[in-house]
Structure 1
C-alpha cells in the first residue's frame, strides 16, 4: 500500500496507519474529537497505529487518554492487533495504560492466542505476567498451548507450561496439545508436554490417543518417557 495508503474512511486513521505524526497532531489540534472516531471497520486511529507498528503515534494517542479497550467489528482490541503483529513496545505501552489482557474477539481469542501461534515470546511473557489466562479457550476450545504445540513453537510451549498452562485440556475435536504435537511430528514439544504431565492415553473424538496419532518412532519414545 503506497505510503500507508487509504485504509480507512476516517482521515486520522489513515494518518495513524501511515505514521504521519505531525499531520496527525495538526488534525487533532483542529478537532480533538477525531482521536476517538471509529471508521467503517469500527477501528480507531489507535487500532491502525498498532497495526502498522507506529509506537510514537500510539504513545501520542495514549497521552491524550484515548480508550485503550475499544473493539473493532471483529472484536479485536488494539492489544489483540499489537500482539498478533509482534509489536513488543506497543504491547508494553497498551498494558501500562490498562489494556485488558484477557479480552476476547469474535473467535474467542485472547491476545495470548496470537502471541502463542506467532511465537512472540516477549509479548507472551508480558501478557502472562499481567494475568493473561494460559488456559483461555477460543471458539474451537483451543488454548494458546494447543497453538504453540501444533506450530512447533518449543520455547512458547516452555513459557506457557512454566506459567501453569494445563497440558490435558481438549479442544472441540477432543485433541490435547499432545495430540497436535504428535500429529505434526513435533518431537521436542511432545517430549516436553509429557514431562509436564500430558497424558498419552486421552482419546480424541476419533477415539485415538496421542500415541495412536504419533508418526514414526515418536510413540515409542513417549511411552518410554512415561514408563520411566
Structure 2
C-alpha cells in the first residue's frame, strides 16, 4: 500500500496530551477510549431489597411473588438507585426482564450513573434483554451523565447485531455525547473495525469531529487502529483537516510513530 504519511522532524510537535474519552473519563491518548463492554454492576447483598436479589438470581417466581402477591413495587430502588430491571439486564436474565416489562414496569429509569436498563443491557452485551426492552418501548435515545446513548455503548462493544437492532428502533446514529463523540468515533477509538464498517454502511458521517476537532482518522492513528485507518482511507476521508491545535492526521501519525 502506498505510504500516505511522511515523517518529518518530531521535535517541533507538542507532546501527547490527556483528553477525556467518550465516557467522561480522563485518558492518555494512547489508551483505549471505551471501558470494558462487559462491565456489569458490583453487587453487594446489603444494598439490595428482596426483589433485587431475586432479579439478580433470575428467580422469576420469586420476583412474581414479591411484585404481585406482596405488592412489592417493581420500580423500587436499591441503595445504588438500581431497579430490579437494571439488575436483571446486567446479570443476563431475559425471563425476569420479560416478566417485569410485561408488568408495565418503568423502562427508562436511571441508576446512580444515569444509565437506563437498556444502556446496561447493551453495555453487558445481553442481546436478549436488549431485544425485550426495545420491543416493549424502551427509549434508545436516553442519555447518561456524559451524553452517551445506548448506541454509544453498543459502539464500544463487540456485537454488531446489537448495533443493528438499535438502529432499527430509530436511535440517532449521529448522536453526540459531551465530548462531541458520535457512535462511529467511539467505535474507531475502541478499534471496533466491524462496527465502524457497519455504521458506515448504514450512513454514519465519516467526517464527524469531536470536541477537539479530531476526525475518525486522527483517532484511528492515535489508537493504532491499522485496519480502520485503511478502511477510512478507502472510504475517502479527508486527510487534510486540522484538529483544534492545528495538527493534521499526518502529524498525529508522526507523533504516535504510526506508519501507513
Match of 1:151 among 161, 167, 190: 190
- Whether the 8 Å CA contact 2:189–2:220 is kept in 1: the answer is yes
Count of residue pairs brought into register by the alignment: 215
Is the aligned partner of 1:11 residue 2:50?
yes
Does 2:171 align with 1:129?
Answer: no
Aligned mates of 1:196, 1:165 — CA distance in 2: 12
TM-score (norm 2): 0.78
User: CA deviation digits over 1:99-137, x for unaligned, max 9?
Assistant: 111111111000111111122211111001211112111
Unaligned runs of 5+ in 1: 219-228
More off after superposition, 88-97 vs 206-215: 206-215
Structure 2 vs 1, CA of residues 187 and 7 (structure 1 numbering), >3 Å: closer, same or farther?
A: farther
User: What's the CA shift for 1:41?
Assistant: 2.4
Which of 193, 203, 214 pairs up with 1:175?
214
- Are 2:132 and 1:93 aligned? yes
After superposition, residues 172-211 of structure 1 pair within 5 angstroms as 172-211=211-250
Residue aligned with 2:47, SS? coil
Deviations 1:8-49 (A, max 9, x none): 332211211122222222222333342111222222111110
TM-score of the aligned structures, taking structure 1 as reference length: 0.88
- Supply the RMSD in Å over aligned alpha carbons: 1.6
Matches of 1:111 and 1:8 in 2, distance apart?
A: 26
Report if aligned partners of 1:75, 1:104 keep a CA contact under 8 Å in 2. Answer: yes
- 1:171 deviates by 1.1
Q: Shift of the alpha carbon at 1:184?
A: 2.1
Q: Which of 62, 65, 81 in structure 2 is aligned with 1:26?
A: 65
Alignment partner, residue 217 of structure 1: 259
Structure with the higher fraction of residues in helix conformation = 1
Q: 1:50 aligns with which of 89, 103, 107?
A: 89
- Determine the structure 2 residue equivalent to 1:225: none
Residues 194-220 of structure 1, C-alpha deviations (whole Å, 9 max, x = no match)? 3334211111122111122124431xx
Aligned to 2:17: none
Q: Is the 8 A contact 1:119 1:148 kept in 2?
A: no
Q: Distance in 1 between matches of 2:75 and 2:208?
A: 39
Q: Distance in 1 between matches of 2:165 and 2:46?
A: 29
